[in-house]
Amino acid sequence: MISLQIKLGNLKLKNPVIAASGTFGYAQEFNNFMNIRKLGAIVTKTITINPKAGNSMPRTCETPSGMLNSIGLENPGLEKFIQEKIPSLSKYKVPLIISIASMESPQEFAILAKRLNKIKEVAAIELNISCPNVKHKLGKDTEENKLIAQDSEATYLAVKKARSATNKTIITKLSPNVTDIVEISQAAERAGTDCFALVNTFSGLSININTRRSKVAAGLAGLSGPAIKPIALRMVWQLRQKTKLPIIGMGGIIDAESALEFFIAGADAVAVGTGNFINPACSIDIIAGLKRYLTQNKVSSITKLTGSLNL
């Protein structure tokens, strides 16, 4: 009997294939392409306390083996999301992981987490401290704008605030745009995260040679897709050497083979992002491919693959 079941903190999933934040809309967009109920979990688009319009158009462009995006966390705000989106999302009977972000201070993570903690349909909370299209001023005495995930003290504080406000599983989404991802992860672990998600997109640029302007209105944007997979794999492997906490791997996963690479590198689960745009049924194909691989290789559980890399 083959098992795809996994556990992320207190969250139990029937399989380890997750729809990543920002690439799966609010699920109904994929109704005509797949049986959404087969997914292991869904991570929602990132929510902030107040509505956010996002960045100016154009927001996306294709690149070799990938894409750039600078959506800017467009969302309806916390209360409207709870009232209008959670009811339709919950009908799929798939665990909902709500992605949240702060725009002003780490205290916003506590406010968001406390509100979501009261909602039974919420299975877990993802802390998006790593969106490359939104920068934070870290500390009142500095003019430097950074991602929270680029500063270990800011990461610790954000996770600590969220941890104090919820007993639901907390997943901290890390940025690859750092010198040492292990240092940041250790700060999050000290603060009480239950799980890691990595990696978010890489900061990138694509230029229109005729206008000599960026192809994306915001200038720099987040690079995703198969182009980033080798680096994402390396970071998952690095982190697996330093933590026993569950890891959700992502970055260029478009089929079962690329998903399997992440498990072998050290991931406990995988999240499909840009792959959803290439093949809307990508996640379901991956689930079937994982089952075939385990059967053919006489591996009883997907958990036995995690961190099995022989370098």
Tens digits of residue pLDDT in 28-57 = 999 999 999 999 999 999 999 999 999 999
195 as an active site residue: the answer is no
pLDDT at 146: 84
The Cα–Cα gap between 173 and 129 comes to 6
Is residue 139's pLDDT more than 60? no
- Percent of the chain residues past pLDDT 90, beyond the cut: 92
Give me the residue spans of the domains in the chain. Answer: 6-54+71-203+225-304
Place of tokens 């290439």: 278
The b-or-e profile of 234-269 (16+ CB within 10 A means b, else e) is ebbbbbbeebebbbbbbbbbbbbebbbbbbbbbbbb
Over range 274-290, report the average pLDDT: 97
Name residue, tokens 């990138």: 204
Q: What is the pTM of this model?
A: 0.96
CATH class name, domain 6-54+71-203+225-304: alpha beta
Q: What is the average per-residue pLDDT within 171-188?
A: 97
Query: 113-122 pLDDT, tens per residue?
Result: 999 999 999 9
| The one catalytic residue among 61, 131, 195, 282 | 131
